[in-house]
Amino acid sequence: MNAVNIQTFLSETKNQKITILDIRDKEAYLEDHFEGAISMPLTSVPNRLNELDLDTHYYILSHAGRRAQTIAHFLAKHGFQTTVVTGGMKALRTMSMAS
């Protein structure tokens, strides 16, 4: 499992097309999300593995990053490539407010 901080994540989104998996609940996703992120709430991931592609590298985004680590480990056990966005949406909001 890889991890990147929010600055690296934002840089990578500008330099390449990446696939973002937002594991927050549906309400949080609808309230605010990173453009283009796939909504797949944490509790639904085990039942939705068939919707994911083993050839795709997923950046996992949660509220603060802790739950993203859990799902990244789970997905890795099933053969998926993942990168956790440390700090999650909380860090992204903080950064947006600072600029």
Residue 97 pLDDT: 72
Alpha helices in the chain, H assignment, sequence order = 6-15, 26-31, 66-77, 88-98
Residue 98 pLDDT: 66
- Looking at the structure of the chain, the number of domains it has is 1
CATH number, domain of 47, equals 3.40.250.10
Q: Coil, strand or helix: which one is 30?
A: helix
Q: Which domain holds residue 9?
A: 2-98
Low-confidence residues of the chain: pLDDT under 50: none
